[in-house]
Structure 1
Amino acid sequence: MSQPQTNIPNILPNWVDSSHVKGMLRGIERESLRMQSNGFLSQADHPKTLGSALTHPHITTDYSEALMEFITPPQETIDQVLNYLRDIHAVVHRHLENGEKLWPLSMPCMLDDTEESIRLAQYGTSNIGRFKTLYRHGLGIRYGRRMQTISGVHYNLSFPDQLFEALQEKETDEELKALSLQDYRSHRYFGLIRNFIRLTPLVMYLVGASPSVCKCFMTGRDHHLLPLVGGTLFLPYATALRMGNFGYQNSAQKELGIHYNNLKGYLEGLQKAVKTPYKRFTRLGLEDKQGEPTQINDHVLQIENEYYSLVRPKQVPQDGETPSEALQNRGVGYVELRAVDVNPYSPIGIDEDTAGFLEVLALYCLLQDSPELLGDEQNQIEQNQTEIVNRGRAPNAKIHENDHEYAVQEWLSKHLLHMQPFSQLLDDTYKTKIYSQALKTMLNRTADVDETLSVGVIEDTIEYGGTWGFGSHLAVQHAAVYETHKLSKKTLAYFDEVAKISIQNQQQLEEDNSKSFKEYLTDYR
């Protein structure tokens, strides 16, 4: 299917140039399960030689003790952030024990029938460490531990202040012109967020890589999935089941009405959720028969991070601040794009094409009009997301936008072609071809469904006899890449030092016995 090249409106404001976007920063958080040599989920502790999962800035754990999370600091270019992520993977691989490897897919495999064999992440005996583990225990009894073994990629992105200053100068609304730079920046980031939510079907289709799941993941759950091969279930036209009903869902949260129309309303909704009891969670109880706590509280959200969303406004917290307090005090500093599957074909879970596409998309979302996102449109967006997740590659799949119905390929092409001037701007800014190449890749996936990651995953799952065969094949390949990745002496020394410091920091926290955990928890509640 050829793409029309004529009559494409240039919707990049003509005054925006490289000087406005130079200074963008990006960071990546990538999750991956440790698996034993026999393929089952690791039961071993987080490797001590990597440092403390509680206090290490780059190598930690997410829900499970076996679910590793790798975090880069903000970097000035895509090349730099991907190289940093490669270094982290290579360092981690050196410290894995007993033949363990990193599972390469978003959806887990080889879970046994016992939920308790999915070990909660452990952070030591300090109050904050015990609090983090209790939070995970609460997630387990609320939603089940299997759901918490899903891996994803979070792409963090910020734009420089000179862009917001220039945008504010161009405003015709006197109220917006009168805002402080901090408040205006937050206003524009929330516009980006609303547009990103509208366009998440783009992300799910173009970088979705979870069209199938290991049968073990569905143990004890009703589902409409079909058998594919070798203990694997799928939907014939699915793209990203991770983002659907089998992924991170919280029906209680949908009743909250948390919106992204402004920072004040967002924070009020979040705080209400953290402070509002929810009957189903109340019935679970706060303690077990031995009097040990089982969840932090019985509220809709135990803590703010429990709010599952496709994109989050973020600000770096200072000591003692909650995420909401950081946003309240200093406004939005960056956005966290969370609707991204792990790319199983990349040893680091993400490649240049995905990174470049996400940055073009984010700039496109930032610089377009972004009306308030209200209930009817939100419902329509959720229907679009469901359509793409479950049957996005179907020949008759449809997207609804602004009272129009589009064939999926037509809708994807429309937005991707509108993004081309944005990719050219970023290429010019960074003296690269990454952004235009990323858009070319996404246009190819739009024109030829066989080029999508989700089709590749289905074909290779069949070739290797199931999810386990495919995933383990890739895990071995990726391990060989980590083996050959050269780490400089400076990098090795840095990670050794950070590991030692992280252990010392954890020990310091554990030596503070001024308050018992029961008192600590009572104070929080």
Structure 2
Amino acid sequence: MQVNQTSFAERLNVLQDQAVTQTLTGIRHGIERETLRINPDGGLAQSPHQQALGSALTHEFITTDFSESLLEFITPPEVSVQKTIGQLNDVHKFAVSNMGDERLWPMSMPCFIENQDAIPIANFGSSNVGKMKTLYRVGLKNRYGSMMQAISGVHFNFSLPDEFWQQWLDKTSAEKANKDTISAAYFALIRNYRRFCWLIPYLYGASPAICGSFIKGKETALPFEKLGRGTYYLPYATSLRMSDLGYTNNAQSGLNICYNQVDSYIASLRAAINQPSSAFQKYAGKKEGEYQQLNANVLQIENELYSPIRPKQPTQSLEKPSEALDKRGVSYVEVRALDVNPFSAIGIEENQFYFLDVFLMYCVTKPSALMDEQQYHETEVNLSTVVVQGRDPELMLLNEQQSIGLSSWALQLFSDMHEVALVLDQANNTTHYSVALELEKQKVLDPSLTPSAKILEQLVSQQCDNGALGLNLAEDYKQQLIGSDYQFMNAEELAEHAKLSIEKQRVIEQQDNISFDDFLSSYFSVSTTD
């Protein structure tokens, strides 16, 4: 399929067309927020997932990620930003109200953890599907260590309505909106996101410092400075979570996942799933009667691919993500480059929604050429540079092999995004989008306004440890959440959700009729190379 090469100005004119603009009220968002449960002393909670919160396997809104101590709160796709924020607040309030004296850690990088064996792996029950989820996490621990898996982030899910694609595709390329053309347009968005996503950790990175326990015994070439009793930081860092220390996977650097079309993406992802890894071969088979990973390939399953954005299609029971994309196309994108916002009790603020809508609509509107390997590598270099030294006033990035200052490039992007913000304002009869854009632009003009700079200023000026700051915020947010009102789901409804989820898990466990060995064999024998 040919990628449209009209200019930004021409495509902006299409976006400003009333038939297109009026569909923009149908943009939907969902949030997935990860957070560690901690004890009052700031250490990682060792207690199992609370019964009152329901089943981590089947609950719609409250689950666990890698660890039994790592909660994940999920909101369904909604048009209203206020409703999503309200729902997220509701599940946070319900969780902290049912956690005794535990708190929620308000930062991306983990609290003090003595060693990785103190991080309990998530337990999803005795069903085959539950055991598979746990075994996948055992494999992650063996491959990369548990410390990396204890890092928290916020995922921002974004989708455009079918009505938008019908109008947009017809007017920009005379194409009918269908599974293939919509998927191609989402992949054009994704390529532009890859080009410009260095801006996200600059604006929202909030992990310039880490607890010393996180790097204990690790070799790193990063020139850390120390403060307090055991906090390490980089003066210009924005998001150590996104650095080589954090949630990345060097083993995946040679995979060459292709973001040009949905078919090439699926093919390259499936190739990685089926590519044996010499490094992970040592965990093949069983040890003392227990599996150590799902398989010895570069990726155990598709979710293991680390990426700052993913094309998504909701999956059905035991359906692989690539199968869902293949059958039904791209339904939404999952933005994965957001640190937990430590200045919010729920990890994200309203302004971020409006800015990200503008940013992602800019990625739709801007012409998006196919990327070759060198161009893709350039996007990776820019991102890895910004996460460790993004606030360096002298920082240079690469734009089509040309050096450009970060602030100079950012201001060019903000100039173009301003036009997109005005369209979103008009569609929604508001000024939220242009106001959000202006607030973020101030961070480019004055790096001290970024979250990473604000956190570092607090730590350095008070000679305070990262852990002490996190613990104070955790206590404040617990009281704030308990004192807040339920907005869309009350305690009774959420308790009922928990109860139903436990019953659902029980039914799944009762319906199993094959051994776990046979279940795994069956799951991985289904062809993923068609």
Bucket of the pairwise TM-score, normalised by the shorter protein:
over 0.9
Counterpart among 178, 186, 189 of residue 189 in structure 1: 186
Q: Evaluate the alpha carbon distance shift between residue 429 and residue 294 of structure 1 in structure 2; reply closer, same or farther with a 3 A threshold.
A: same
Given the superposition, is the C-alpha separation of residues 156 and 490 from structure 1 closer, same or farther in structure 2, using an over 3 Å criterion? closer
Please name the residue that 2:3 is paired with: none
Matched, 1:100 2:97: no
Question: Per the alignment, in what secondary structure is the counterpart of residue 380 of structure 1?
Answer: helix
- Cα contact 1:64–1:118 (8 A) shared by 2: yes
- C-alpha separation in 1, matches of 2:400 and 2:281: 41
Superposed, which structure 2 residues align to 1:138-217 within 5 Å?
138-172=139-173, 177=175, 181-217=178-214
SS of 1:12's equivalent in the other structure is: helix
What TM-score, normalized to structure 1?
A: 0.94
In the alignment, the residues of structure 1 paired with residue 36 and residue 17 of structure 2 have an alpha-carbon distance, to the nearest angstrom, of: 42
Tell me the SS of whatever aligns to 1:279.
Answer: coil
Letter paired with 1:364: Y
The Cα of 1:431 is off from its aligned counterpart by: 2.7
| Letter of the structure 2 residue corresponding to residue 149 of structure 1 | A
> For 2:327, what is the secondary structure of its paired residue?
helix
**Which position in structure 1 is the counterpart of 2:516?**
517
**How far apart, CA to CA, are the structure 1 residues paired with 2:156 and 2:29?**
7
Matched, 1:287 2:286: yes
Do the aligned partners of residues 490 and 270 (structure 1) sit closer, same or farther apart at CA in structure 2, a change above 3 Å counting? closer
Contact 2:207/2:339 (<8 A) preserved: yes
TM-superposed deviation, 1:171: 3.9
The equivalences for 1:67-78 within 5 A come to 67-78=70-81
Match of 2:126 in 1: 125
Q: Aligned with 2:35: secondary structure? A: strand
CA distance in 1, matches of 2:412, 2:329: 33
Answering whether residue 28 of structure 2 is matched by residue 25 of structure 1, we say: yes
How many residue pairs get aligned? The number is 511
Identify the residue that residue 385 of structure 1 maps to in structure 2. Answer: 383
Equivalent AA in structure 2 for residue 274 of structure 1? I
| Distance in 2 of aligned mates of 1:424 and 1:229 | 46
Go from structure 1 to structure 2 and tell me whether the alpha carbon gap of 1:56 and 1:318 turns closer, same or farther (over 3 Å shift): same
- Structure 1 position 488, deviation (Å): 5.7
Stretches of structure 2 lacking an aligned partner (at least 5 in a row):
1-7, 525-530
Q: Would you say the 8 A contact 1:464–1:470 is kept in 2?
A: no
Q: Offset of 1:373 from its aligned partner? A: 1.5
Runs of 4+ residues deviating >3 angstroms = 8-11, 14-17
CA contact (8 A) 1:259 1:269 kept: yes
Contact 1:239 1:391 in 2 (8 A): yes
| Aligned residue in 2 for 1:3 | none
Letter in 1 for 2:249: N
How far has the Cα of 1:13 moved from its partner?
2.4
- 1:434 CA drift (Å): 2.2
| Contact 1:157 1:336 survives alignment (8 Å) | yes
The corresponding residue for 1:5 is: none
The correspondence of residues 442-457 of structure 1 with structure 2, limited to 5 A, is 442-457=440-455
Residues 347, 261 of structure 1: alpha-carbon distance in 2 compared, 3 angstrom cutoff: same
Q: Secondary structure of the equivalent of 1:42?
A: coil
Q: Whole-Å Cα distance in 1 between the matches of residues 358 and 188 of structure 2? A: 15
Distance 1:183 1:218 in 2: 45
Aligned residue type for 2:110: P
The corresponding residue for 1:506 is 505
1:378 Cα offset (Å): 1.5
**1:318 aligned residue (307, 316, 319):** 316
Classify the secondary structure of the residue corresponding to 2:134: helix
Matched with 1:115 is 116
Give the distance between the partners of 2:25 and 2:40, measured in 1 at CA: 45
Query: Which amino acid counterpart does residue 38 of structure 1 have in structure 2?
Result: D
- Paired with 2:132 and 2:420, the residues of 1 have a C-alpha distance of 44
How much does 1:11 deviate?
6.5
Q: 2:308·2:335 contact (CA, 8 Å) conserved in 1?
A: yes
Instruction: Write the distance in 1 (CA, Å) between the matches of 2:11 and 2:261.
Output: 24
Q: Please tell me whether the aligned partners of residues 315 and 321 of structure 2 are also in contact (alpha carbons under 8 angstroms).
A: yes
* Equivalent position to 1:441, from 439, 442, 450: 439
Look up the match of 2:493. Answer: 494
Secondary structure at the residue paired with 1:13? helix
Residue matched to 1:65? 68
Whole-Å Cα distance in 2 between the matches of residues 491 and 423 of structure 1? 35
State the shift of 1:55 in Å. 0.3
- Cα offset for 1:299? 0.7
Identity %: 38
Aligned to 2:528: none
Deviation at 1:461, TM superposition (A): 2.2
Of 447-456 and 163-172, more deviation after overlay is shown by 163-172
Deviations 1:469-500 (A, max 9, x none): 11011111111110111126962222111111
Q: How far 1:336 sits from its partner (Å)?
A: 0.3
For residues 10-35 of structure 1, give each alpha carbon's deviation from its aligned partner in whole angstroms, at most 9, with x where no partner exists.
97225434313121111000000000
Query: 380, 391, 394: which is aligned to 2:392?
Result: 394
Distance 1:513 1:375, change over 3 A: closer
Distance 1:216 1:13 in 2: 53
CA deviations on 1:10-63 (whole Å, 9 max, x unpaired) are 972254343131211110000000001111111000110110000000000000
What is the CA distance between 1:464 and its match in structure 2? Answer: 6.3
CA offset at residue 257 of structure 1? 1.2
Aligned to 2:365: 367
- The DSSP-based 3-state class of the residue aligned with 1:339 is strand
Instruction: Report the secondary structure of 2:235's partner residue.
Output: coil
Q: Cα–Cα, structure 1 residues 524 and 490, in superposed 2: closer, same or farther, change >3 Å? A: closer
CA contact (8 A) 2:165 2:177 kept: no
- The aligned amino acid for 1:331 is G
CA distance in 1, matches of 2:12, 2:60: 37
Which whole-Å CA distance do the structure 1 matches of 2:227 and 2:411 have between them? 30
C-alpha separation in 2, matches of 1:408 and 1:456: 19
2:13 counterpart letter in structure 1: P
Q: Distance in 1 between matches of 2:488 and 2:202?
A: 41
Contact 2:11 2:172 in 1 (8 A): no
Partners of 1:373 and 1:77 lie apart in 2 by 34
Equivalent position of 2:295 in the other structure: 297
What is the CA deviation profile of residues 289-343 of structure 1, one whole-angstrom value per residue up to 9, with x for unaligned ones?
x121110000111111011111000011123321111111110000000001111
Kindly indicate whether the alpha-carbon contact (under 8 Å) linking 1:227 and 1:233 is maintained by their aligned counterparts in 2: yes
